[in-house]
């Protein structure tokens, strides 16, 4: 697919999503191009992790500036305060992005698990149904551990 075709597909895809506003349509459109809920969940988790790292670094930078404040020269107090305020504002913005990413992860995970439950009910073989149920349970346990870690990191910000 060349760049022009990709751009046209992207515009049509975005238009479809904006016009429908429905998550099932959103997922169906992604699936048409070969991206499934599990892939979207993975991307959301990676993005949340990256946002957490950036936010943590931003808070660390603000803390460094706070330490510099205690060694300030009287005339530089206002400049130091302004710099600290900017660092705080950037840190708060990063923390908001992390919260947004966590909500994205929760949304996609919930949709993925709900779809998986429906698919299990459609399996006619009891053995395959039990196997899928076991995989779902194991995946939920791993997700719950990840979600707990994300929420703890969010609270620490």
Mean pLDDT of 4-8: 55
Q: Which residue has the higher pLDDT, 2 or 24?
A: 24
Mean pLDDT of 20-37: 78
Mean pLDDT of the chain: 80
- Predicted local distance difference test score (pLDDT) of residue 157: 75
The model's confidence at residue 51, banded by pLDDT at 50, 70 and 90, is confident
Q: What is the pLDDT of residues 58-110, one digit of tens each?
A: 776 666 676 666 765 555 666 777 788 888 888 888 888 888 888 998 999 99
DSSP code string of the chain: --HHHHHHHHHHHHHHHHHH--HHHHHHHHHHTT--HHHHHHHHHHHHHHHHHHHHHHHHHHHHHHHHHTT--GGGHHHHHHHHHHHHHHHHHHHHHHHHHHHHHHHHHHHHHHHHHHHHHH---HHHHHHHHHHHHHHHHHHHHHHHHHHHHHHH-
Domains plus CATH for the chain?
Answer: 1-35 (no CATH), 37-156 (1.20.58)
């Amino acid at each position: 697919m060349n760049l022009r075709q990709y751009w046209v597909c992207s515009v049509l895809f975005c238009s479809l999503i904006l016009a429908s506003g429905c998550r099932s349509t959103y997922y169906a459109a992604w699936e048409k191009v070969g991206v499934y809920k599990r892939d979207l969940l993975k991307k959301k988790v990676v993005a949340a992790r990256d946002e957490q790292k950036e936010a943590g670094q931003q808070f660390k930078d603000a803390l460094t500036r706070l330490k510099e404040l205690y060694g300030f020269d009287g005339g530089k107090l206002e400049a130091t305060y302004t710099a600290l305020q900017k660092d705080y504002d950037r840190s708060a913005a990063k923390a908001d992005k992390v919260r947004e990413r966590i909500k994205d992860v929760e949304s996609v995970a919930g949709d993925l698990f709900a779809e998986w439950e429906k698919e299990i009910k459609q399996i006619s073989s009891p053995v395959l149904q039990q196997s899928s149920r076991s995989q779902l349970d194991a995946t939920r346990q791993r997700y719950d551990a990840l979600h707990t870690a994300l929420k703890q990191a969010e609270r620490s910000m």
